[in-house]
Structure 1
Amino acid sequence: MPRILKNINIEVGNRIKQQRLAQNLTREQLAQLSGYSANFIQEIERGRSGLSSESMRAFAIALKVSSDSLLFGSVSESFEFLFDKLNAVPQEKRKYVIKVIEAAIDCAVSQDGPDVL
């Protein structure tokens, strides 16, 4: 029985391949960066295999992009900028930065919040 390819797997696989090629990485190099085999990457890029949340995270980190951009397509430049900045924060301090960001967003969308932070 032929394998039925899911559209989401094909789309995500294409995005991973585009990112890999844009960064001039071979499958073998991406395999080293992600911890997954070059054969698995080939299956992903062809849409024959789907990604778990763990492998999605590994590829996003290896490619230095957000998992949203791999899953949904292009993400605004400002989001990518913030993602890069947040990745530069040591893991143990990220929760504090995230709390500040959440507070700023809550303030910005609040009816009572200031127009400028």
Structure 2
Amino acid sequence: MHTLDRLAVGVRIREQREKLFMSKKDLAEKLNISLRFLDEVESGSRGVSLNKLMMLAQILEVSTDYLLFGSGEKSSEQVFSHIIENCPPSKREALAVIMKKIVDSYNE
């Protein structure tokens, strides 16, 4: 049986939010909560309801198991998709060139 560690949950929420290049303000708005409440959740001093947990998992593109316990699916493809979707169309070609150079450097 898992023990819930609110501080670790908050850290995973913050880290995943940052990986998606999402501001605290944006996440708070999507969850319909105050910025202060989100700060308290990310610091581990408050928890969230089951409904908000499910919303968090969907918004942050991870499983509830990952948020709660650090296990479960955490898809890097979802992170890449989010970055590409939020990249202005005029910058996508440059992004593709950068990504290709990175991948090529690993294959050398």
How far did residue 76 of structure 1 move?
4.2
Residue number in structure 2 paired with 1:94: none
Amino acid aligned to 1:29: D
Which moves more between the two structures, 22-31 or 33-42?
Answer: 33-42
Alpha-carbon RMSD across the aligned residues, in angstroms, is 2.2
Residues 51 and 22 from structure 1, CA distance in 2 versus in 1: closer, same or farther, beyond 3 angstroms?
A: same
How far did residue 60 of structure 1 move?
0.9
List gaps (5 residues or longer) in structure 1: 1-6, 82-117
> Once superposed, which parts of structure 1, at least 4 consecutive aligned residues long, lie more than 4 Å away?
none
TM-score (norm 1): 0.56
How far did residue 32 of structure 1 move?
1.8
C-alpha distance in structure 2 between counterparts of 1:39 and 1:72, whole Å: 24
Q: 1:37 aligns with which of 34, 37, 57?
A: 34
Residue number in structure 1 paired with 2:18: 21
List gaps (5 residues or longer) in structure 2: 77-108
TM-score (norm 2): 0.60
Quick one: higher RCO (CA 8 Å, sep 6+), 1 or 2? Answer: 2
Amino acid aligned to 2:47: G
Amino acid aligned to 1:72: F
The number of equivalent residue pairs is 74
Indicate the structure (1 or 2) with the bigger Cα radius of gyration. 1
C-alpha distance in structure 2 between counterparts of 1:50 and 1:11, whole Å: 11
How far did residue 72 of structure 1 move?
1.2
Contact 1:35 1:58 in 2 (8 A): no
Instruction: State the percentage of identical aligned residues.
Output: 34
Residue 9 (str. 1) matches residue 27 (str. 2): no
